[in-house]
Amino acid sequence: YNKPICPQCRSRSIVKNGTFIRTLETGDIIRIQRYKCSNCTCSFEARPPNHGYGKHFSDITKEKIVKGRVKTSLRKTAFFFGLIGNMGISHETIRKNIPSGPAKRMASSGCFVYDEQYVHIDGKDKFRALLKDSKNRNFVEEILDDLKEETLVAFFIRALSSFVITEKIFITTDGYHYGSILREVARTLGIRIERQRCLFHLENDLAHKIKEAGKEEQLDTAKKLVKFMFFQTKKNLESLGDNKEALSKLIEGKSEAETAGVILQLLNDLYGSDKIISGFMDFVKKNRNEVFLYLKNDQVEKTSDLAEQHFSIMSWLFKHR
């Protein structure tokens, strides 16, 4: 600042070239000296310490921007600066001053959960996509413009490239449309991806179809059998009421996989003629490996609940920041 050097040719052969007044974000008024290089005719200015050329705020303010961005939105951070510092900073300026994270690959267990959530950001409809390690909780989260196949393929490739992964991984997803996406990701990365379908979504989809058809009373036991098949807890067994004793005898001493087989047979014998249940059974048989993958590997998550919990926690943080 006291001994300026030409920023273009690094020459010290410079002459003064007028001054101008600048009001800093702190309210301080300073006079900035302009210079002209005698060697290359470059015109430049000498600014105060921590106020480099082209900056409208100091490096100290930049550090505050980065800290203020944690767990809050870009617009909210800009609002805080206007409220506290009596200065106007756009959310885009804040975005540009957030340093990129280090290019370091995260550890992974090889078991992931994936989910996506609709969000409204900066007046536009977007989608928040999340790939989270179900064991060590490392995750990659991005805001996507759409959910087209090529967009999701690109996200999965970027996300998985952020982890140290083995030749075979497991991903739990909801929905019914990820098959071709995961196959393309596996082909591109040269790995094998096995998919577990979220059992909560399968159960809820069946319950929704039963309700829409007006068969809640007629198929109530079938719905409860499916829930117990997926989540074999004492509570779900008790929900079967008078039928729990008969089922308990049928599954006594059997493993979780054997119990699932018994219930599938019961559903086929008792409700096979019903269009809704038969459609559900056909789907399970066609996608048996993806529905019951957790029975072969107990490290695989049955549901994408961990991803949904992540969204819930982040939503709470944004509301209470």
Provide the H-helix boundaries in 116-255: 149-161, 179-189, 199-212, 220-230, 234-238, 244-251
pLDDT (tens, 9 = 90+) of the chain, 321 residues, equals 466 778 788 788 888 888 878 776 556 677 778 888 988 888 887 766 555 554 555 566 666 655 655 556 677 777 776 766 566 777 777 777 666 555 678 999 999 999 988 888 777 888 989 999 999 989 998 889 999 999 999 999 999 999 999 999 999 998 778 999 999 999 999 999 999 999 999 999 999 999 999 999 999 999 999 999 999 999 999 999 999 999 999 999 999 999 999 999 999 999 999 999 999 999 999 999 999 999 999 999 999 888 888 777 655 444 433
- The pair of three-digit structure tokens given for residue 315, joined into one six-digit string: 């939503």
Supply the DSSP symbol for 276: H
Q: Where are the domains of the chain?
A: 1-56, 58-99, 111-198+304-319, 199-296
Closest to 171 measured CA to CA, from 25, 179, 246: 179
Locus of tokens 């919990």: 309
Q: What is the pLDDT of residue 317?
A: 45
Tokens of 157: 């490739």
pLDDT at 318: 44
Instruction: Provide the pLDDT for residue 316.
Output: 46
In CATH, which of 3.30.420.10, 2.40.128.120, 3.30.870.10, 1.20.140.10 is domain 111-198+304-319? 3.30.420.10
